[in-house]
A and B are shown apart, each in its own frame.
Chain A
Amino acid sequence: MTKRSLLVVGLCCGFLIGSSAWAQEAPAQGAPEAPPAQGAPEAPKDAAPESPPADEAPKPPAADAPPPSPPSDPAPAEESPGQASPDAAAPDGEAPAEPPPITKLPKAVSLQEGEFPQKAIDDGIEQTEVVLTIDIDAQGQVEGVGVQTPSPHPGYGFEDAAVAAAYGFMFEPAMAGETPVPVRVVYTFKFFMKPAVPEEPAPGEAEQEPPPPDPVVNMQGEMVVRGTRAPIPGIVITLFRGDPKNPDAAYEATTDKDGKFQFYDLEPGVWNVLAESKGFFPYRTSEKIVEGKLTDVKYYMEKGGYDGYVQIVEGVRERKEVNRTSLQVAEIEKIPGTAGDILQVVQNLPGVARPPFPGLIIVRGSAPEDTQTVLEGMTIPLIYHFGGIRSVIPNPMLKGIDFYPGNFSAQYGRATGGIVDVRLKKLQPERPGGQIDISILDSLLYLETPLGDNAALAISGRRSYLDFLIDAVASQQDDVNVIAAPRYYDAQLNLQYRPAPGHDLRLFGLLSDDLLRLLFSNPGDGTTQLEGNDFNNTTSFYRGIADYVYTPSENFSNTLRVSYGLDQTKVNFGQFFFELDQTVLQVRDTVSIGLGDSVRWNVGIDEQYTVASFDVFLPPPPKEGQNSPDGGDGPPDLTNVLSTTVEDQSRHSLGLFTEVEIKLFEDLLLIPGVRYDWFSLVDAHRVSPRFTGRYVATEQWVVKGGVGLFYQEPQPDETDVTFGNPDLGPEGAVHYSAGFEYRPLDYLTLDVTGFYKTLFDLVSPPASRDVGTPFDLVGLAQSPAATDLDVEAILGDLASDGIPGQQLTNTGIGRVYGAEILLRHDLANNFTGWLSYTLMRSERRDRQGAEWRLFDFDQTHILTLLGTYRLPRNWEVGLRWRLVSGNPTTLALGSKQRTNEDDFQPVNGPTNADRVPAFHQLDVRVDKTWIYNSWKFGVYLDVQNIYNRENPQAISYNFNYLLSEYSQTLPILPILGLRGEY
């Protein structure tokens, strides 16, 4: 029987000496454990010099170099930084300086077997070892090898063989931070007896000595990631017996792309199993091999850290805009104070004001309706349930968001403020999986699965249970009968199919439904102006969006998106109601053509067709600068009620855009573009030229700037004949911005941008003194047609001329100027976060001759500091601290009592002439995830306003406006949530 002994080289690991010392303690938190340190030789106290002595570096044998062994990875995993050695040499004869700490050890890429000397074989020596010192340069090459401890069997040539083999080693260099550095390691080279190679049988001898039997697999298995069950390819699994430092026998196998591995011809008995890889905790176990039986195992190896959700890395998109902040789900979903809603994270970016309600996005001093939130360029009617509780698309469906605070591309339109573009995740699941997320608000179920090799499907659904909670409380209060309160749900479907390279199809469906019904038994307790006691609010919509992306080459791509959906809203409170029913069709196609290496042309069309019916009986909604419930400046006056009914009103919003990306000298990117918009409702055509430029001065410095024209049509109610003025035109803005980016480290960016924005043709209400009264029609009455008080003529003229009292005009203008600073730390070193600061002023003038006043949400200083840090054992801690100027407010100078209505109405001072005190708040979030073999379970605690600051939100008054105090934002608010991921 053929003797099967072993020869394993480089089994042992090394010590760093010289410029840095090996870290011998436990691994750094969050990093995988080090290989076992027990039994490893200690580094000498008197470390060797950086360059080995010449006489210790025998030349490698050239002719009889042993053949390379199979790839093996005995190198240690990433370790904690070591301490610098005090005697490290300084370059260029300068005073010795402390070398940087080693943050990563060299890792063996390839090893060489050492030749077992024949004389030793002849003398029956089966194993021995030689301790070497190996100098590895900054490229991972072996510069020199010295013998530190010779073999206990002198004279056989083990030292020469070990040195010769070591010169053939290749390493990944050691790292000090981001810099590769030369190091010296101590390496124990072990020799074992090679198996005797059976001699080729001579012809005719075959019948006497049969060939060895085929290997028999008696152990096989699969190595997967604990918690996610993702296979781990390329990991070395070692089976050994005896002392791990000096095993009696050892075998290795490497997992294939599916994480599978096999061992064969293992001797029966107990074997120790060891698997190590960077980013994972070492895996140790033992298996009992029974003769004649196959041992089938599945190993779950725990990662050093887990992302919130696995994201597909698609490469870094080139930056082309003056300002674009891209946020990935995994990066931001654990930011405190956002309830895990990534859209709310936008409110922490520079240039974005702190809103009174979470659903508003106020960008660079523009009104909330001036900023569009789109789904990959396609409009959806609602981003949030109930205006801000929760976004209608859950995080697992999303890849992230792109935020453009100004000077955005010509590909975007219908907005004069900013753009928030929500991006869907590209599905590439390797196996079925899912997620369950349970929070105090709602529960989410998300499932995804591959469909063959070229398709994947994801579905999700979410439902709130606030209605159950409120029902439980409200049942004790007969005043308010909660019939259905408040309930929301949403559902999504994402089907992706790639029939052939260059062809990508996607179908995305979205359904959302909000419902709230209240019945007040005693509505007069709040107001005498109600003729009913029920409040109903139902809002639902669905969208189906089909995408086809054709990319035959890198020089051509066509992206076609078609969206169709229905929006329905019905709300009433007493006699007041608002009903909307509209169908929306949107088609968007973008062609991108590369014209050589330095020019790319983008051109496209964006058509939105809407058919809407609505029925409204409401007070006119307040305009910016008027008293508004949002601002807390007074109660709504329900005595002035307007009504309108419109059936099947159709409107087009057509956009055509083109832009050219021109790269000059590799470093300068210029993008001139232009957009044409037709707003059919106001029958207006607008052309918007835009230009941005970026100059990459160095690898670290970028200079950028842009100027552009932007338009949006008035809000639907503003062009209604009753509520507004059908003769209004679009609102416009000119954006100017310039700044620079500085990237001192791969993961650290400083972005500074100054901006100036002029707003024109803003829709503004007339001054009250300008509002006509019926008696102001005296001129009309004195006309020849009315000399005999021709009532019909007067009324007819009035009807055709519109209603003076509601006559909105495009007379408003505005100006916004300021600067933004963003210092961002991308996800690296277990930390992500940013510091943003905005200094800004936003003003409005409602009409010619009026005084400039502050914008409703003007905030001079906006400072946000946030970050999350990953701790060992899957703990994460995050914090967010905000310091923001208070919003402008209009003071009540007194009041008048209305006895028929039994209330008081405030007499206001100058609009937005005062300001509430500054806001500051600290939010903290702690996440803990437990990893089980097939799933993960997480708990998070999000505590908002942890030091319970009484932040003024607005001024509230007593019933007759003689007493006032600040209404407060929420006090300390802990939110607990659970999450399971399969």
Chain B
Amino acid sequence: MTNSQLTYRRLLGALMALSLGLGGGVIGCDEGFPDFNEVEGFRVLALRADPPAIVPGETTTLQALVYFEGNVLPPPDYSGDAGTDGGFEQDPDDPVDAGVDPDMGAADDEAPAPPTYRWTWCPFRLPISEGGDCYYEDEAAFRQALGDLVVLPEDLSFDLGSGPTAELDFVLPALLLEVLCDPIETSSPSLAGLFGLECNGGFPLSVELQTEYDGQTISVLKDVFLQPSPEADYNTENPTLIDEVSYKLVEDQNDFGQTDIVEEGALPLTKDGTVELELGESYGLWMNLEDDSAQLFTPLPTEPVPNPEPRRETLFVTWFVTSGDTQYRRTTRLDGKNDPALIRENVWNLPLKMDEDAEEAQLFLVLRDERGGQDWLSRKVRLVR
């Protein structure tokens, strides 16, 4: 084996593994574990910052979509009204247990307590492979590291509270972020980029949510983008899902590969949970996006692409289900590179047998863009034989 070959191999290793992983996922070569989008137990399905990027003086609100034993926080609006059902329509000061959907099984005295939350932020972290802890044990250590470089506010705290939502201010001085995010030279990466932090959308400040339920703790990291300048041309917003889902029974299913589905004749999957789907059947699903969900933005210049062209964000929809599985765990819209309709459709394969205590199943659609924006919606259906 020549050195050239090994170098070439190592450089390509990540890409080849990823491509093989993609192929494996597509053709169903999973190892036998429950799939990523098959929801059970305790999961955090999404964590949204609204807005996903802030400028000095702004505050963003953080909220997670948490699933636990059939319940969801914030509680979905299964009233039947149209409109986005995220937690932002809820009062964040409400008690957590008050948000439990009464239709999804009310808590009894023996049921575990609802999930608890702890929110923190950290300017820099160790690699996750080594624990992902913050470099600085506390704020004092951070101040000491900065020295005279930047004066931090007196009341600066990494702690963001323990409510179901949290508020994050523009915690770092704008001057420091300029140092970190400005390209060192024209067409070269920024200082943060050299340290593995992408400033494409602002400085990525790491927020961590630790949520605990029934003795199990889940740690979720989210980058919130701090934009030193309000005039930055890479403003980002959360994408928007139209709260419409339709479905149709798949009659001619291809067992081998992709099942082709046609939207014509699809029926609305209403929010009130009255739609009945038959066990053992497959249903085509369709969702809708606002036309401007994928924002137009100009990526930061890099060495190989010193003058990038403006383009639209890439969008992803994760199709979480509490029963059965889906043809794709995620669907994609790559601006100009794939069929835009592909992101809208999927196939839900329902199980042959019903779970003992689950006559209903839930569907969660989480929409993400490539710059930290998120939105979600949910549906509930009845399963019948």
A-B complex is real = yes
Residues of A within 8 A of B (CB): 359-361, 368-369, 371-374, 379-384, 387, 414, 420, 476-480, 518, 520-528, 530-535, 537, 539, 567, 569, 571, 573, 576-578, 580, 615-619, 621-622, 627-630, 634-640, 643-645, 712, 715-717, 768-769, 771-776, 778, 781-782, 789, 791, 794-795, 798-799, 803-806, 895-900, 902, 905-908, 956-959, 963, 965, 967
Q: Tell whether B157 is near chain A: CB-to-CB under 8 Å.
A: no
Q: Tell whether B123 is near chain A: CB-to-CB under 8 Å.
A: yes
Q: Assess whether A795 is in contact with B184, with CB atoms less than 8 Å apart.
A: yes
Minimum distance in angstroms from A926 CB to a CB of chain B: 31
| A639 to B223 CA separation, bound complex (whole angstroms) | 12
Contacting residues, chain B, for A622 (C-beta < 8 A): 10, 13-14
Q: Assess whether A617 is in contact with B131, with CB atoms less than 8 Å apart.
A: no
Q: Assess whether A643 is in contact with B342, with CB atoms less than 8 Å apart.
A: no
> 6 closest Cβ contacts across the A-B interface?
A524-B332, A636-B14, A629-B17, A369-B6, A958-B33, A640-B196
Q: Assess whether A476 is in contact with B257, with CB atoms less than 8 Å apart.
A: yes
Given the known interface contacts A526-B25, A629-B16, A645-B303, the answer about A578 and B11 at a Cβ–Cβ threshold of 8 Å is: yes
Contact with A along B171-212 (1 / 0, CB 8 A): 000010011101011000101101110100000000000000
Q: Please tell me the number of chain B residues within 8 Å of chain A, measured between CB atoms.
A: 97
Q: Which of B90-98, B274-282, B333-341, B352-360 contacts A (4 or more CB under 8 A)?
A: B333-341
Contact partner of B27 (CB less than 8 A), chosen from A477, A578, A615, A634, is A477
Q: Tell whether B370 is near chain A: CB-to-CB under 8 Å.
A: yes
| A356 to B268 CA separation, bound complex (whole angstroms) | 50
Q: Tell whether B59 is near chain A: CB-to-CB under 8 Å.
A: no
Q: Assess whether B302 is in contact with A617, with CB atoms less than 8 Å apart.
A: yes
Minimum distance in angstroms from A583 CB to a CB of chain B: 13
Minimum distance in angstroms from B268 CB to a CB of chain A: 25
Given the known interface contacts A528-B370, A907-B132, A908-B129, the answer about A773 and B195 at a Cβ–Cβ threshold of 8 Å is: yes
Q: Assess whether A776 is in contact with B17, with CB atoms less than 8 Å apart.
A: no
Q: Assess whether A525 is in contact with B329, with CB atoms less than 8 Å apart.
A: yes
Contacting residues, chain A, for B331 (C-beta < 8 A): 522, 524-525
Given the known interface contacts A520-B22, A898-B221, A899-B222, the answer about A799 and B124 at a Cβ–Cβ threshold of 8 Å is: no
Minimum distance in angstroms from B328 CB to a CB of chain A: 5
Contact partner of A639 (CB less than 8 A), chosen from B34, B196, B302, is B196
| A818 to B15 CA separation, bound complex (whole angstroms) | 36
Contacting residues, chain A, for B9 (C-beta < 8 A): 359, 387
A-B contact pairs, 15 of them (CB 8 A): A368-B1, A369-B6, A480-B26, A524-B314, A573-B18, A617-B302, A622-B13, A622-B14, A638-B14, A640-B196, A715-B7, A716-B7, A776-B145, A794-B179, A895-B128
Contact partner of A531 (CB less than 8 A), chosen from B182, B314, B366, is B314
Minimum distance in angstroms from A377 CB to a CB of chain B: 13
Q: Assess whether B145 is in contact with A778, with CB atoms less than 8 Å apart.
A: yes
Contacting residues, chain A, for B220 (C-beta < 8 A): 896-899
Q: Tell whether B23 is near chain A: CB-to-CB under 8 Å.
A: yes
Interface class of chain A by DSSP: mixed
| A7 to B18 CA separation, bound complex (whole angstroms) | 84
Chain A: CB-nearest residue to B218: A897
Given the known interface contacts A535-B15, A899-B222, the answer about A387 and B148 at a Cβ–Cβ threshold of 8 Å is: no
Contacting residues, chain A, for B128 (C-beta < 8 A): 637, 895-896, 898, 905-907
Q: Assess whether A382 is in contact with B14, with CB atoms less than 8 Å apart.
A: no
Q: Assess whether B15 is in contact with A573, with CB atoms less than 8 Å apart.
A: yes
Q: Assess whether A717 is in contact with B304, with CB atoms less than 8 Å apart.
A: no
Contacting residues, chain A, for B334 (C-beta < 8 A): 523, 530-533
Q: Assess whether B175 is in contact with A789, with CB atoms less than 8 Å apart.
A: yes
Number of A-B contacts (CB under 8 A): 297
| A873 to B225 CA separation, bound complex (whole angstroms) | 76
Minimum distance in angstroms from A971 CB to a CB of chain B: 13
Contact partner of B191 (CB less than 8 A), chosen from A571, A645, A795, is A795
Q: Assess whether B4 is in contact with A716, with CB atoms less than 8 Å apart.
A: yes
Q: Assess whether B302 is in contact with A900, with CB atoms less than 8 Å apart.
A: no
| A613 to B383 CA separation, bound complex (whole angstroms) | 61
Q: Assess whether B13 is in contact with A523, with CB atoms less than 8 Å apart.
A: no
Q: Residue among A621, A628, A645, A774 with the most chain B CB within 10 A?
A: A774
Q: Assess whether A372 is in contact with B149, with CB atoms less than 8 Å apart.
A: no
Q: Assess whether B15 is in contact with A478, with CB atoms less than 8 Å apart.
A: no
Minimum distance in angstroms from A767 CB to a CB of chain B: 9
Q: Assess whether B129 is in contact with A907, with CB atoms less than 8 Å apart.
A: yes
Q: Assess whether B337 is in contact with A532, with CB atoms less than 8 Å apart.
A: yes
Chain B: CB-nearest residue to A629: B17
Contact with A along B314-347 (1 / 0, CB 8 A): 1010100000000011111010011100100000
Q: Tell whether B361 is near chain A: CB-to-CB under 8 Å.
A: no
Q: Residue among B18, B179, B198, B316 with the most chain A CB within 10 A?
A: B18
Contacting residues, chain A, for B2 (C-beta < 8 A): 372-374, 379-383
| A617 to B15 CA separation, bound complex (whole angstroms) | 11
Q: Assess whether A778 is in contact with B189, with CB atoms less than 8 Å apart.
A: no
Contact partner of A900 (CB less than 8 A), chosen from B23, B223, B330, is B223
Q: Assess whether A900 is in contact with B147, with CB atoms less than 8 Å apart.
A: no
- Given A480-B26, A525-B22, A621-B14, 7 more pairs with CB closer than 8 A: A640-B196, A717-B10, A774-B192, A775-B149, A805-B196, A899-B44, A905-B129
Q: Assess whether B15 is in contact with A634, with CB atoms less than 8 Å apart.
A: no
Q: Assess whether B26 is in contact with A479, with CB atoms less than 8 Å apart.
A: yes
Contacting residues, chain A, for B114 (C-beta < 8 A): none
Chain B: CB-nearest residue to A795: B184
Contact with A along B53-70 (1 / 0, CB 8 A): 000000000000000000
Minimum distance in angstroms from A392 CB to a CB of chain B: 11
Q: Tell whether B100 is near chain A: CB-to-CB under 8 Å.
A: no
| A636 to B20 CA separation, bound complex (whole angstroms) | 12
Contacting residues, chain A, for B18 (C-beta < 8 A): 526-527, 573, 635-636, 638
| A619 to B14 CA separation, bound complex (whole angstroms) | 8
Minimum distance in angstroms from A213 CB to a CB of chain B: 73
Q: Assess whether B15 is in contact with A571, with CB atoms less than 8 Å apart.
A: yes
Q: Assess whether B184 is in contact with A643, with CB atoms less than 8 Å apart.
A: no
Contacting residues, chain A, for B145 (C-beta < 8 A): 773, 775-776, 778
| A895 to B216 CA separation, bound complex (whole angstroms) | 13
Q: Tell whether B109 is near chain A: CB-to-CB under 8 Å.
A: no
Q: Residue among A380, A524, A716, A902 with the most chain B CB within 10 A?
A: A524
Contact partner of A518 (CB less than 8 A), chosen from B13, B19, B198, B222, is B19
Chain A: CB-nearest residue to B373: A900
Contacting residues, chain B, for A778 (C-beta < 8 A): 145-147, 149
Contact partner of B33 (CB less than 8 A), chosen from A383, A789, A959, is A959
Q: Tell whether B380 is near chain A: CB-to-CB under 8 Å.
A: no
Contacting residues, chain B, for A789 (C-beta < 8 A): 149-150, 175, 179
Q: Assess whether A899 is in contact with B374, with CB atoms less than 8 Å apart.
A: yes
Contact partner of B13 (CB less than 8 A), chosen from A630, A771, A963, is A630
Q: Assess whether A372 is in contact with B129, with CB atoms less than 8 Å apart.
A: no
Q: Assess whether A525 is in contact with B184, with CB atoms less than 8 Å apart.
A: no
Q: Assess whether A896 is in contact with B26, with CB atoms less than 8 Å apart.
A: no
Q: Tell whether B310 is near chain A: CB-to-CB under 8 Å.
A: no
| A414 to B189 CA separation, bound complex (whole angstroms) | 34
Q: Tell whether B307 is near chain A: CB-to-CB under 8 Å.
A: no
Q: Tell whether B265 is near chain A: CB-to-CB under 8 Å.
A: no
Q: Assess whether B44 is in contact with A522, with CB atoms less than 8 Å apart.
A: no
Q: Tell whether B130 is near chain A: CB-to-CB under 8 Å.
A: yes
Q: Assess whether B146 is in contact with A618, with CB atoms less than 8 Å apart.
A: no
Contact partner of A628 (CB less than 8 A), chosen from B13, B127, B130, is B13
Q: Assess whether B189 is in contact with A643, with CB atoms less than 8 Å apart.
A: yes
| A384 to B148 CA separation, bound complex (whole angstroms) | 56
Minimum distance in angstroms from B316 CB to a CB of chain A: 4
Q: Assess whether B11 is in contact with A907, with CB atoms less than 8 Å apart.
A: no
Q: Assess whether A899 is in contact with B47, with CB atoms less than 8 Å apart.
A: yes
Given the known interface contacts A383-B1, A769-B126, A967-B31, the answer about A522 and B332 at a Cβ–Cβ threshold of 8 Å is: yes
